[in-house]
Amino acid sequence: MSEDSRRDSASLALEPNSIGRRPVVVGEVLFDVFPDGTRVLGGAPLNVAWHLRGFGLEPLLISRVGEDDLGGAVVDALDSWGMDSSGLQVDPEKPTGRVAVALDAGAPIFDIVSDQAYDRLDGGAARDALAEVRPALLYHGSLIAREAVADRALRGIRAMSGAPVFVDVNLRSPWWSVESVTSLIRGARWVKLNDDELGRFSDRGSVSGGTGAELAAAELSRRHGIDELIVTCGDRGAFVWVGDRSVVGRPPGAVDVVDTVGAGDAFSAVWIAGLLGGWDPETTLVRALDFAAVICGVRGATTDDRRIYDRILETWSST
């Protein structure tokens, strides 16, 4: 399938009120550095935007990189993938973001470097980039709000866009607090987090899945007026609390796992595609879990193998 065909197949699925509108993705761009020295472009917002482009959509990524070799590599990667880089700012002083990734039985452990270019996201420049876009929705995570400068920029972007907000909770110690993340969740239409994170924001404390997790999700949704609360549960799958019910999804069969870096971001990207495509939660949940499993089979959070996206889109078009 050609790139144009891929874009057409995705666009044909869009709801009428989403046609001509674009997903806006705000947050950190960085490199994941693995123990063997391998460097993989990442950051949850970049990963999500990358996959959306792979699905044929046209996200606007708003982020900030350093005026350094890694920053140049980011620009080159976006260009090669056909992504709009007009929202990418360049900082003359701070470096492009880096994260040291250690693997424990395939699961990632992150050491996130402080004082990076994305921590100085410029709100005025971001709003200038956004002025030319009709946003369908605005996606961001929680890490971008760890420093006051970027936090102010993010809140300005949310206010200016007027778009419904998707918050992807990624708790990375010590860069979060219950109060700061709760303030981001407030006013969001969609929120995604894992079952451990759900327990941290629940009055019930730790949740272990099943009825306890669903009750915690229901309470959190009611408290903040969330339309869909999506909870990933690792190798047990995921569920979404929507309205007054829970929709449960089981993981696909056996997967040859290389690492699980970016699995949650792959899931989020499919969920956004589903929102723009008007899919029901049951369909979206199956497709999101399937694609997350595919990404577990590659090193790092993204891939430039277009055949993977071709196969995914062909599967979607036939089911």
pLDDT at 109: 82
Confidence of residue 20 (pLDDT cuts 50, 70, 90): low
Question: SS3 for 264?
Answer: helix
Half-sphere exposure of 137 (CA within 13 A, CB side): 26
Q: Is the pLDDT of residue 6 over 60?
A: no
38 lies in which domain range? Answer: 3-318
Q: Is the pLDDT of residue 5 over 60?
A: no
Query: Does residue 109 or residue 148 have the better pLDDT?
Result: 148
pLDDT at 17: 47
CA angle 247, 248, 252 (to 5 degrees): 140
User: What CATH number does residue 195 fall under?
Assistant: 3.40.1190.20
Per the rule left: phi > 0, alpha: psi between -120 and 50, beta: everything else, 201 is alpha
pLDDT at 210: 62
Count of domains in the chain? 1
Q: Which of 102-111, 119-128, 257-266 has the largest mean confidence?
A: 119-128
Tell me the C-alpha to C-alpha distance, in Å, between residue 134 and each of 19, 25, 137, 144, 244: 10, 13, 9, 22, 31
Confidence of residue 18 (pLDDT cuts 50, 70, 90): low
E strand intervals along 43-153: 60-66, 88-91, 97-104, 107-112, 135-141
Confidence of residue 223 (pLDDT cuts 50, 70, 90): very high
Which of 217, 151, 152 lies closest to 190, judged by CA?
217
Mean per-residue pLDDT of the chain: 89
Which single residue is written with the structure tokens 């309205």?
A: 243
- Name the percent of the chain lying above pLDDT 90: 71
Q: Is the pLDDT of residue 185 over 90?
A: yes
Confidence of residue 304 (pLDDT cuts 50, 70, 90): very high
Residue-wise pLDDT tens digits, 22-73? 999 999 999 988 788 888 899 999 999 999 999 999 999 999 999 999 999 9
Question: SS3 for 167?
Answer: strand
Per the rule left: phi > 0, alpha: psi between -120 and 50, beta: everything else, 162 is left
Tell me the C-alpha to C-alpha distance, in Å, between residue 22 and each of 19, 132, 164, 313: 8, 11, 12, 19
* CA-CA-CA-CA torsion sign (234, 238, 241, 246): negative
Q: Is the pLDDT of residue 206 over 70?
A: no
- Those residues whose C-beta lies under 8 Å from the C-beta of residue 243, and which sit 6 or more positions away, are none
